[in-house]
A and B are shown apart, each in its own frame.
Chain A
Amino acid sequence: DIQMTQFPSALSASVGDRVTITCRASRSVSTYLNWYQQKPGKAPKLLIYSATKLQSGIPSRFSGSGSGTDFTLTISSLQPEDSASYYCHQSFSVPPVTFGQGTTVAIK
Chain B
Amino acid sequence: QLMQSAAELRKPGASVKVSCQASGYIFSDYGIHWVRQAPGQGLEWMGWISPYNDNTDYARTLQGRVTMTSDTSTSTVSMELRSLTSDDTAIYFCARHSMRYSGSYGAFDIWGQGTVVTVSS
Binding site for B on A (CB under 8 A): 32, 34, 36, 38, 42-46, 49-50, 55, 87, 89, 91-102
Q: Number of contacts between A and B (CB, 8 Å)?
A: 68
Which residues of the other chain, A, contact B104 by a CB distance below 8 angstroms?
32, 91-94
Instruction: Give me the interface of B with A, judged by CB distance under 8 Å.
Output: 33, 35, 42-45, 47-48, 57-60, 93, 95, 98, 103-109, 111-114
Q: Are A96 and B43 in contact (CB under 8 A)?
A: no
Q: A34-B107, A89-B107, A92-B105 are in contact. Are A44 and B43 (CB under 8 A)?
A: yes
B45–A98 touching, CB < 8 Å: yes
Given contacts A46-B109, A49-B107, A96-B45, 7 further A-B contacts (CB under 8 A): A32-B104, A34-B108, A44-B93, A44-B95, A94-B104, A95-B59, A95-B103
The answer to whether A36 and B109 have CB atoms under 8 Å apart is no
Report whether A49 and B45 are in contact in the complex, using a CB–CB cutoff of 8 Å. no
In the docked arrangement, what's the CA distance between A86 and B114, Å? 17
Residues of A within 8 A of B93 (CB): 43-44
Most chain A CB inside 10 Å of its own CB: which residue of B33, B111, B113: B111
Closest to A94 in B: B104
Are B42 and A44 in contact, CB atoms less than 8 angstroms apart?
A: no
